[in-house]
Amino acid sequence: MIDLKDAIRSIPDYPKPGIIFRDITTLLGDARAFRRAVDELVQPWSGAKIDKIAGIEARGFILGGAVAHQLSAGFVPIRKKGKLPHKVVSIGYSLEYGIDEMEMHVDALLPHERVILVDDLIATGGTAEAAVKLMQKLGADVAAACFVIDLPDLGGARKIEALGVPVRSLIAFEGH
């Protein structure tokens, strides 16, 4: 059995000193690790009624697309401002050094559709929290938020759980 933690490349002092960047491109490039990660993200929802998977740009698109396929669900991209061609709904959120916005098409989700949010990593939770609020703004039922990696010391998963959304992470790395 492959250890998913071993499939993640850790890059010290990137993007700045003191940060250890957790790079999932090595996991994505390893067919067995990628398959196992997708299977583990899907497993709790197998047989459940899930209408859509929402993925956060960009690695959430890769993982979310695979999860959507496995669950026979639709896929909804959540993108940075200005990247979607149709009418959008947007939400602002705080970054470490400022504010950004993310968007999704206004017709991407219908009220009461059951949606799972998927991304590669949750750290402080600002982006995931904004994504959950954006989907809820359209009336969706956010059934869960799923991540390959959690950095629990940064508290992001707790922010999502405080919104009433269960969080599932496959592996955790202490520190940041």
Supply the residues annotated as catalytic: 59, 96
Q: Say how many Å lie between the first and final Cα of the chain, rounded.
A: 26
Q: In sequence order, what are the beta bridge partners of 114? A: 141
Rounded to 10°, the helix 59-71/31-42 angle is 60
Of the CA atoms within 13 Å of residue 24, those in its CB half-sphere come to 22
From the number of C-beta atoms within 10 Å of its C-beta (0-12, 13-18, 19+), residue 75 rates as middle
